[in-house]
Structure formats: C-alpha cells, structure tokens
C-alpha cells in the first residue's frame, strides 16, 4: 500500500473538518505541498508548488 501524505484541511461550517490526503503520484502530478510544509500562518487549504514551474 502506498503511503499517503496530508496535503490540507477541509473546513466545515457545521461540524468538524477533516484532513485531506494524496498519494505520492497525485501529489507530484498536481504539485501539492505536504501539510507540514505550509507556512505557520496557513489556514490549511491545499497549496501548490509553483516554484517547480517558474521560469528561471
């Protein structure tokens, strides 16, 4: 079984939210950042690694 990574937090208006996960191939193809790499002031929404596609 492939190891899944937490990529964000889904917020809910009436009740608890939940952690969103992605498998390594999906995380790489969608350029998703792992939750533990989000900035400290992040609300937990999924973030994308735009640096991977930046023109240098």
The Cα–Cα gap between 46 and 22 comes to: 11
Type and span of the H or E element at 47 = none
49 neighbors 5 (Cβ within 8 angstroms): no
1-56 pLDDT tens trace: 568 899 999 988 888 889 999 999 999 899 999 999 888 888 888 888 877 665 55
Type and span of the H or E element at 20 = strand 18-22
What pTM, to 2 d.p., does this model score?
0.73
Count of C-beta atoms within a 10 Å radius of residue 14: 4
């Amino acid at each position: 079984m492939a190891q899944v990574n937490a990529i964000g937090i889904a917020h809910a208006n009436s009740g608890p939210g939940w952690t969103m996960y992605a498998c390594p191939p999906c995380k790489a193809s969608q350029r998703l950042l792992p939750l533990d790499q989000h900035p400290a002031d992040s609300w937990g929404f999924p973030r994308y690694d735009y640096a991977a596609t930046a023109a240098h």
